[in-house]
A and B are shown apart, each in its own frame.
Chain A
Amino acid sequence: MSTTSQELDKVTILFAGDSGDGIQLTGSQFSNTAALYGNDLSTFPDFPAEIRAPIGTVAGVSGFQINFGSTDIYTPGDDCDVLVVMNAAALKKNLVRLKPRGSVVLNVAGFDRRNLNLAGYGEDVNPLTDGTLDDLNVVQMDVTKLTRDCLKETDLSMKEKDRSKNMFVLGFVYWMYNRKLDATIHFIENKFIKYPNIAESNVKVLKAGYAFGETSETFSNRFEVRPAQMPAGNYRNIMGNQATAIGIISAGRQSGLDIFYGGYPITPASDILHELSKHKNFGVRTFQAEDEIAGICSAIGASFGGHLGVTASSGPGIALKTEAMGLAMMLELPLVIVNVQRGGPSTGLPTKTEQSDLLQAVYGRNGEAPIPVLAARTPSDCFFTVYEACRIAVEHMTPVFFMSDGYLANGAEPWRYPSADDLGPISPVFATPVEGEEFMPYRRDEKLVRDWPIPGTPGLEHRIGGLEKEDVSGNVSYDPDNHEHMVQTRQAKVDKIADSIPLQEIDNGLPAGKVLVIGWGSTFGAIKTAVKELIAEGYEVGHAHLRYIQPMPKNIGEIIGNYDKVLIPEMNNGQLIKLIREKFLVDAIPLNKIKGMPFAASEIKNKIAEIYGS
């Protein structure tokens, strides 16, 4: 049987298997190869919270979805074209995600009676034989046996041989999409540089998987997905947490400040600490503190000392840092607080994504304690947004919240990376002593920002603290009028940041029309895809995506006025919508999804269509 080649605009593949099957590695390797080839892409890793959940069960299934194409890609895709499964549980969990007449590549060895039982298929039920997979394009391979056969000449143990199974599948999928193996071979050789026999066997299995595609007669189609027409420039692949770390380092360099990061490990924020700790030669000091509170308090201490203090966490850790955020706000010191949001409340869903900490960021402190809040929209946008958060922290002498989430943190996309010269300035203003004048630590400029006094400077000795302070002098004050004045001043200082941020743009669609979709954070891709498709179908819709949530750009009210209706999709129970309703008294319509999963573009599209004519 001869193979034919078919050209496609875009393809969504979902790799799924046991959490010990190396699925994340397989997916990220495929992503890197696709990126290097020039496809646009978006990925969505989805894994259990347990490091090794019970083997073979649905709870233990790890997934990695990639959407890649020759056209613009904004999301990891709704349903998938190809489902690659290593065992029965992976099929059981993900079959609903496969498009009608889609393809399934499956490891038959993962469908023995034991695996079927573990997956929860009843006795005598076997999806391979009961018609479940009829109408689908199914490729069955005994990956386990093929891998072992391939390595039978080596002296590796059976366990070690079986660890290469994922490379067989990856090789096969590379064949399906006519991809080169170079990048992955290079990766394997580097990763196992100290274990050449392991490197060799993995490469061997990868090549065997590719060859299996060529020689077996199970699959008649290969697919061609050409490079995307992306703007000219230099590209790399990047994940959100990595972009966040690099953005922080860049801000340190451009502001002339060393970075101090105080943090405590927590999913899904830990990779920021890991990445930063590799770059000490940029003047980055990382401090793995004893707890979340010490993480932020040490960062406050570093900022008091003239460095840029940064801390990162996720919901439960952010809750612990709350009191210290109030202190930083009261002291008026620069501080960047990164919240990589995950499913809540309490411990919630540590490895799943959600946007349910927005009101915590905006309001979650005792007393009147306004803190600017910014949110990234895509993995690479984490770079620009955290850079901007650092700028505001330094130039406005305030703690700033930078909001990411699990989906951005672990998702990847091609990034047209900037050169260092493209980055805007960040200009700290340090206090200097004035001959014959007593230093006043809370004297402000026209932006209501105080200068930054650094210990070690003669003549600027001063005391600051969390108690209410007298205007200008900073001395402790219980005066009622002074307190009200200071509360208003600190609010006005945050409000004035709106003078230095760009006006909101319509990210997509028409500048006026029937429905405006307002989003924030990682819903960007799904909203953009939905709005683009509706515009093509003749709908009058627009999409404004907020990067600045507190304070908001000054023209949001004006934009809202240009549409008949406002829809606000969020991965929470309605949080931005409360801010928009309160601020603009508009009867915005919510669309909420709280499933630990990003929106499918179709869900947003359907909702827009539903409210469009009603």
Chain B
Amino acid sequence: MTTEKISTPLTANDFKTDQDVRWCPGCGDYSILKQVQSVMPDIGVEREDMVFISGIGCSSRFPYYMNTYGMHSIHGRATAVASGLKAVRPELSVWIITGDGDSLSIGGNHLIHLLRRNFDVNILLFNNEIYGLTKGQYSPTSELGKRTKSTPLGSVDHPFNPLALSMGADSTFVARSLDRDPIHLREILKAANNHKGTSLIEIYQNCNVFNDGAFSLFTDKKTKLENTMMLEEGAPLIFGENRDKGVKLDGYKPVLVDLNDPHVSENDLWIHNSKDRTLADILVRFFDDPNVEGNFPRPFGIFYQEDRFTYEEALNTQLQEHIESAGTGDLSELLKGGNTWTIT
């Protein structure tokens, strides 16, 4: 190794470590790890300038498998650790790996505050709607009535809608993707990296041991086209196996329409605009139980993005401005303080 910056192009293999990956065979985490490792060589950041920080949970083992700097911290606190790191080292590319329990339950407080502060970091929220590492309790994203080890009669908890929560916390980049759609996931990862500010990506991730098939309606060939809607900037909201279903807005009320109906034209449909907060607020609420008749499709893609100053910019600018106005701190003057006297 030399201390010179590496100039040869990197490949996905350069991001693998010598540690055995220890997720259960068939876990959705493998795909996410693979997509991240594939994207990293293309984002224009050297390995030594990347840091992956995680909390606790299955997904939080992730940093051990990335040949970058990394920290496997404590439950729910990756967001807080990353905030401190980014505050002092704004030039680093910081990635937070977390799960639905880690970020929305024990770490919920730090998540919302990170989002409002808008540190320039990327959050990969692996949502499998279950506690895997503790072997199968319901999570804050599990559906109402879910039967698990801790809820044998069914959960009575109303679940979080993670993207609506992010919008409520004034997140500047809100997206959703899936472990089973590698191309889509890679695109979203790159977009998140390019966004300056906190990027939150909710990734639907299948836990094949404790919650297998939680997202099968969105991933199975037979059902996914009817139940999902892929968001494209500037394109109308259309979905369905025959791409003959759409969404239009009746005032602020979204309405499902049948494009085979001669009274409906594509021109009437809602055109996706990720810069529009009002539209994004409606779109993140497309969160119906997919088994209920007349449900809206689940959207995937970038719901919302906004340019806003980052916390670390503001903090470090303030520090520089103070140095410019007051001069670099003089330690002797600080020790002396205001009123002094001398005893001889």
> Could you tell me if B92 and A297 are in contact, using CB atoms closer than 8 angstroms?
no
Known: A236-B340, A285-B319, A462-B70. A300 touches B84 (CB 8 A): yes
B82 within 8 A of A: yes
Interface 0/1 of B305-344, CB less than 8 Å to A: 0000000000110110011001111011011111111111
Most buried by A among B6, B63, B86, B343: B343
Residue of chain B at shortest CB distance from A326: B74
A290 within 8 A of B: yes
Residue of chain B at shortest CB distance from A466: B74
B46 within 8 A of A: yes
Which residues on the A side are within 8 Å of B247 (C-beta)?
A: none
Most buried by B among A281, A301, A457: A301
B304 within 8 A of A: no
> Could you tell me if B335 and A246 are in contact, using CB atoms closer than 8 angstroms?
yes
Cα distance, A262 to B87, chains bound together (Å) = 11
> Could you tell me if A233 and B83 are in contact, using CB atoms closer than 8 angstroms?
no
Expressed in whole angstroms, the minimum distance between the Cβ of A309 and any Cβ of chain B is 7
> Could you tell me if A435 and B1 are in contact, using CB atoms closer than 8 angstroms?
yes
In A12-71, which residues have CB < 8 Å from any B CB? 32, 35-36, 38
Q: Number of A residues contacting the other chain (C-beta, 8 Å)?
A: 76
Partner of B339, one of A36, A233, A253: A36
Which residues on the A side are within 8 Å of B74 (C-beta)?
A: 297, 323-324, 326-327, 466
> Could you tell me if B87 and A455 are in contact, using CB atoms closer than 8 angstroms?
no
Most buried by B among A250, A305, A331, A459: A305
Cα distance, A304 to B87, chains bound together (Å) = 12
Partner of B81, one of A232, A253, A298, A455: A298
> Could you tell me if B53 and A281 are in contact, using CB atoms closer than 8 angstroms?
no
Expressed in whole angstroms, the minimum distance between the Cβ of B90 and any Cβ of chain A is 10
Known: A249-B334, A455-B49, A461-B67. A260 touches B1 (CB 8 A): no
Which residues on the B side are within 8 Å of A464 (C-beta)?
A: 70-72
Cα distance, A417 to B50, chains bound together (Å) = 43
Which residues on the B side are within 8 Å of A420 (C-beta)?
A: 331-332, 335
> Could you tell me if A306 and B323 are in contact, using CB atoms closer than 8 angstroms?
no
Interface 0/1 of A446-486, CB less than 8 Å to B: 00000000011111111111110000000110000000000
A576 within 8 A of B: no
In B1-32, which residues have CB < 8 Å from any A CB? 1-6, 17, 19
> Could you tell me if A293 and B77 are in contact, using CB atoms closer than 8 angstroms?
yes
B155 within 8 A of A: no
Known: A281-B329, A290-B110, A456-B49. A302 touches B5 (CB 8 A): no
> Could you tell me if B91 and A456 are in contact, using CB atoms closer than 8 angstroms?
yes
Cα distance, A433 to B48, chains bound together (Å) = 12
> Could you tell me if B6 and A327 are in contact, using CB atoms closer than 8 angstroms?
no
Interface 0/1 of A559-584, CB less than 8 Å to B: 00000000000000000000000000
Known: A36-B341, A417-B335. A331 touches B71 (CB 8 A): yes
A287 within 8 A of B: yes
> Could you tell me if A235 and B89 are in contact, using CB atoms closer than 8 angstroms?
no
B73 within 8 A of A: yes
Which residues on the A side are within 8 Å of B47 (C-beta)?
A: 458, 461
Interface 0/1 of A293-324, CB less than 8 Å to B: 11001111110111101000000000000011
> Could you tell me if B2 and A459 are in contact, using CB atoms closer than 8 angstroms?
yes
> Could you tell me if A463 and B88 are in contact, using CB atoms closer than 8 angstroms?
no
A215 within 8 A of B: no
Cα distance, A306 to B91, chains bound together (Å) = 13
Known: A305-B84, A455-B92. A419 touches B335 (CB 8 A): yes
Residue of chain A at shortest CB distance from B76: A293
Q: How many A-B residue pairs have CB under 8 A?
A: 224
Cα distance, A304 to B66, chains bound together (Å) = 17
> Could you tell me if A458 and B2 are in contact, using CB atoms closer than 8 angstroms?
yes
A230 within 8 A of B: yes
> Could you tell me if B3 and A461 are in contact, using CB atoms closer than 8 angstroms?
no
Expressed in whole angstroms, the minimum distance between the Cβ of B216 and any Cβ of chain A is 33
Expressed in whole angstroms, the minimum distance between the Cβ of A367 and any Cβ of chain B is 13
Expressed in whole angstroms, the minimum distance between the Cβ of A421 and any Cβ of chain B is 9
Cα distance, A35 to B337, chains bound together (Å) = 14
> Could you tell me if B336 and A417 are in contact, using CB atoms closer than 8 angstroms?
yes
> Could you tell me if A458 and B46 are in contact, using CB atoms closer than 8 angstroms?
yes
> Could you tell me if B340 and A234 are in contact, using CB atoms closer than 8 angstroms?
yes
> Could you tell me if B48 and A459 are in contact, using CB atoms closer than 8 angstroms?
yes
> Could you tell me if A235 and B343 are in contact, using CB atoms closer than 8 angstroms?
yes
In A191-248, which residues have CB < 8 Å from any B CB? 227, 230-238, 246
B279 within 8 A of A: no
Known: A279-B334, A458-B4. A301 touches B85 (CB 8 A): yes
> Could you tell me if B71 and A465 are in contact, using CB atoms closer than 8 angstroms?
yes
Expressed in whole angstroms, the minimum distance between the Cβ of B116 and any Cβ of chain A is 9
> Could you tell me if A301 and B64 are in contact, using CB atoms closer than 8 angstroms?
no
> Could you tell me if B92 and A305 are in contact, using CB atoms closer than 8 angstroms?
yes
> Could you tell me if A475 and B342 are in contact, using CB atoms closer than 8 angstroms?
no
> Could you tell me if A234 and B70 are in contact, using CB atoms closer than 8 angstroms?
no
Cα distance, A307 to B190, chains bound together (Å) = 30
A282 within 8 A of B: yes
> Could you tell me if A455 and B69 are in contact, using CB atoms closer than 8 angstroms?
yes
> Could you tell me if A435 and B73 are in contact, using CB atoms closer than 8 angstroms?
no
> Could you tell me if A465 and B73 are in contact, using CB atoms closer than 8 angstroms?
yes
Which residues on the A side are within 8 Å of B84 (C-beta)?
A: 260, 262, 287, 297-302, 304-305, 309
> Could you tell me if A455 and B322 are in contact, using CB atoms closer than 8 angstroms?
no
Residue of chain B at shortest CB distance from A330: B74
Cα distance, A568 to B336, chains bound together (Å) = 36
Expressed in whole angstroms, the minimum distance between the Cβ of B77 and any Cβ of chain A is 4
Which residues on the A side are within 8 Å of B73 (C-beta)?
A: 297, 300, 327, 465-466
Residue of chain A at shortest CB distance from B321: A280
> Could you tell me if B77 and A285 are in contact, using CB atoms closer than 8 angstroms?
no
B68 within 8 A of A: yes
Partner of A298, one of B17, B19, B67, B87: B87
Which residues on the B side are within 8 Å of A287 (C-beta)?
A: 83-84, 87, 315
Partner of B64, one of A227, A260, A309, A463: A463
Partner of A301, one of B4, B82, B316, B329: B82
Partner of B87, one of A234, A302, A433, A460: A302
A291 within 8 A of B: yes
Cα distance, A461 to B322, chains bound together (Å) = 34
A289 within 8 A of B: yes
B113 within 8 A of A: yes
15 interchain pairs (CB within 8 A)?
A35-B341, A235-B341, A280-B318, A283-B329, A289-B83, A294-B80, A297-B74, A297-B84, A300-B81, A304-B71, A309-B84, A455-B85, A461-B48, A463-B52, A466-B74
Known: A304-B81, A458-B5, A461-B47. 8 other contacts (CB 8 A): A230-B343, A231-B343, A235-B341, A297-B83, A417-B337, A457-B3, A458-B2, A465-B64
Q: Which 5 A-B pairs have the closest CB atoms?
A: A465-B72, A301-B84, A298-B84, A459-B1, A282-B329
